[in-house]
Structures are given as structure tokens and as C-alpha cells.
Amino acid sequence: MNLRDIKALVFQRSWLTLSGAATVFIVPHTLSSIEQGLFFTFLSLAAIQSIFEAGITSAFFNYVAHERAILTNTSPPPTVIERCRSEVRIGSLLKMARQWFILLAIAFAILVGGFGYFFIDNTLQREQLILAWEAPFFILIASISLSLHNLSKIPVLEGYGLISNVARFRLRSSVFSSVVMWAIMVSGGGVWALGIGHAAQTVSMAWQITKAYNKLDLPIVSNFDDVGSDRLRWKKDIFPLQSRLAASYFLGYFIAQAVVPYVLHTQGAVVAGQIGLLLSVFSALASIIASYMYAAGPRYATLIARNDFKSLGALYQKVTFVTIAAACFVYFLLFCAVALAKYFNLSVSYRIPDTSVTICFILIGLVNAYVGSAATLLRAQKKEPMLPVSAIVAFGYVAAMCMLHGSAGKYLFMVFALVQLLLALPLTMAVLKKSKLLD
């Protein structure tokens, strides 16, 4: 981990926050309240992408980082056998990555495209709303599917230590995408903006990642088609980690994103738009807060591969402290902004939920800062011990949505905050202690 990686991540994610703030300002002035609800419902369905990519992306990233740590170790340097073994394993990872991301792209298009279409269509018919949403929705789904295919190269680039490069690629693509989206919204394009904007981002990222990937000194995949026991196999090596990560991220979707479609279904498009707006702001801020701990991921993997647990513990303590301190500062500023908007009755204040909901979001965000830092360390072992925690917390969220069906949003988020404080926090601390990484 170096300062350049951290600066690049912070700069990229700061732009996401600024662009998110600009979108928050533009949406209420260019979309109707119904279009706003649909806009953020599209975003929540698009977020399911993380379920499809995260399990396999994290698995490939951790394996590449571990093998790369062996190849670049200088004290002592790897033996000829160790170097050949690592090159064989990286070669087999490259081949699997290409195959699996094609399957993920197809699965996303079929499953999320089909489910999203029938869900939104049923909701709009029930509320007797007429809106031309089908074509923009399918453009968004097609664009995300193509981006999933392009992402096969990202874990390799980051595993090779090019975190700052990938952050710059994302920044350029996000700027391009945001400008396209805002231009369409201002010109009256409505919900078309999101799909076309995402398509612009997909094309930009594909060009940049491919160019950087081709410059890497990678093993030639065809050289490892007939190797023996050193080659990584999906069923034996990748699937155990991938499946647990995928399940964990799937459950995380309910924790973070499913609430907007749920509110759309139970309380209508206007309230869903309010919750979606606030959730987008928090997601952008959480992304900045997570920059330091995300940049620490490859370093964690390197220290674990070299059995340097003393340095590992010191680094984790530093990363966690900085992450939580940043979360406290950023969320305090956000609370002040929301409270002032409500107090002075600014026009945007009618598009965001009550201040009490903001407080609940802040409590959830603070707990997530700690949980995210611990999870980053734990997953650097090429394991996913956080799955039981994700399952229990997701069950708590689903139970709350079932029991408080149709209740005011503030009560729902109060229960969500309690779930984080009483379940997510102590369970994560227990898992971390059990891992003995910090002993």
C-alpha cells in the first residue's frame, strides 16, 4: 500500500461524491417525483451487479495478490520451483476469469433483466402510472452486462498492484458518464439518462482497462493448458471462496439496496425517491471512507503470504482508526447539511426523508465502517468468514421489513440501526478474534 494508491482512490471516490451531489441537485429539478422514484429503483436493481461480480472478483483478486507477493518477494527471493508454480497458478486464473465473467454477463442480463422488468411493470400497473420506461431499462441492463464482461481484467490489474491506475480509469469513465447523464436529464430525457450514461461509462472503461492489461507481463495462458497439480482449479480452489463471497454479497444487497424497491412497493414512488436519494449520498460518502482500507487489501495479502503478522496487526489498527475517524467527520457534516436544509425549508428538503432517518443512516454507516475494515483483513486470507454475519444481519433486515410492512420509514430504519449495533458489530468482533490474525 502506498500514498499514490490512497490518493487516487480518494480522488476518484471524492468525484463520485461530488457527482452524486450534483445528481441529487439535478434530479429534483429535471425529473418528476414519479420519475425520481423510478430512477433510484433502476439504481438499486443495477446494484445487484455487485452480487454477480463481487464474489468472483474478490476471489480472483486475492489469489492473484498472493501469487504476485511470492513472485516479488526479495527476502528471500522465490526459488525456481516457487516461481514456476506461481506463474502456473496465475495463468490458470487468467483463463478462468475470462470464462466466468462471460457467464456472469449472460446471467445478469437474463435474471436481473427479467425480474426487474416484471417487478417494475407490476408496480406501475398497480399504481396506474403510465411512463415509457422499458427501453431505458433494457439499455441499462445491456450496458451492465457488457461491463461485467469487461471486468474480468480488473482483479488482475489490482492484484498486480495497479490500484491507482484502475482508480484513474474509473474516474475518467465516471466523469464522462456523469456529463452524458446530466446533459440528457437537463434536456428532458428523463429516465433515459441512466442507461445511456452507464453505456458511455462501459465503453470508456473497456478501452482503458484493455490498454493497461495488454501492457502487463503476464504468463501466456496457453502454456498452462496441460500442467498438472500446480494449476488452480475452479471447483477445488476458487469455488469455495467464490461461493461464500457471492452469498455474502448477495445478503449484503438486502442490507444496503433492497430497501428502495421495498419502499417503492409498500409506500409508493415518492417515498422511494426520498430514501433512494439519501441512500445514494451515503453510498458515495461510504465509498470515500473505504478508500484507505480498500488500498490496504493487497498489502494485507502480501503480509499474510509472508507470515508477517506483527506488521499485519499494526497496519490493521491504523487503517481501522483512520476509517472510523473519517466516517465520524464526514457523517457529521452530512447531518448538518440535512438539518440545515430542513430548517430553512430548501426545495431539496422535500425530496429527502426526515432527519431521524438520516441519524439512523449515520449509525448504520459508522458500524459498516468498522465491519468493512475487519472484512477486508479477513478476506485477505483467501477465506470468507463473514458469511454467517451477513446471513444473520440480512435476516434481521428482512424480518424488520416483514414486521413493519407499510409503517413509516423512520421506524424501519430505527430497527435497521439496532440490527447493526446489536448484531453486526459484536458478531464481526467475534469473527475477527476467532481468526487469530491479530494475536
Mean pLDDT (the chain) is: 84
Residue 282 above 80 pLDDT? yes
CA proximity to 133, closest of 209, 38, 228: 38
Does any domain span residue 388?
A: yes
Residue 406 above 50 pLDDT? yes
Does any domain span residue 226?
A: no
CA angle, residues 431, 240, 382, in degrees to nearest 5:
55
Predicted confidence band at 408 (pLDDT cuts at 50, 70, 90)? low
Does any domain span residue 291?
A: yes
177-228: per-residue pLDDT in tens?
999 999 999 998 888 998 899 999 999 999 999 999 888 877 665 444 444 5
- CB of 349 closer than 8 Å to CB of 341: yes
Of 189-198, 214-223, 301-310, 430-439, give the lowest mean pLDDT range. Answer: 214-223
CA dihedral 76, 153, 15, 357 (to 10 degrees): -100
Number of domains in the chain: 1
The DSSP code for 79 is P
pLDDT value at residue 326: 93
Of 123-132, 148-157, 416-425, give the lowest mean pLDDT range. Answer: 123-132
Peptide bond into 76 cis (omega under 30): yes
77-94: per-residue pLDDT in tens?
777 777 777 777 887 788
Does any domain span residue 334?
A: yes
Does any domain span residue 347?
A: yes
Does any domain span residue 225?
A: no
The phi, psi pair for 10, rounded to 5°, reads -65, -45
Domain of residue 8 covers: 3-220+232-435
141-175: per-residue pLDDT in tens?
999 988 888 788 888 888 887 888 888 999 999 99
Q: Residues in the chain, how many?
A: 439
The structure's pTM equals 0.70
Does any domain span residue 227?
A: no
- Cell reading at 196: 445511456
Of 238-247, 344-353, 390-399, give the lowest mean pLDDT range. Answer: 238-247
Q: What does 230-266 look like in DSSP terms, one character per residue? A: TS--IIIIIHHHHHHHHHHHHHHHHHHTTHHHHHHHH
Does any domain span residue 170?
A: yes
- CB of 61 closer than 8 Å to CB of 297: yes
Residues contacting residue 170 through CB under 8 Å, at least 6 positions apart: 12, 205
351-391: per-residue pLDDT in tens?
788 888 999 999 999 999 999 999 999 988 878 899 999 99
Measured CA distances, 14 to 82, 140, 390 (Å): 41, 24, 27
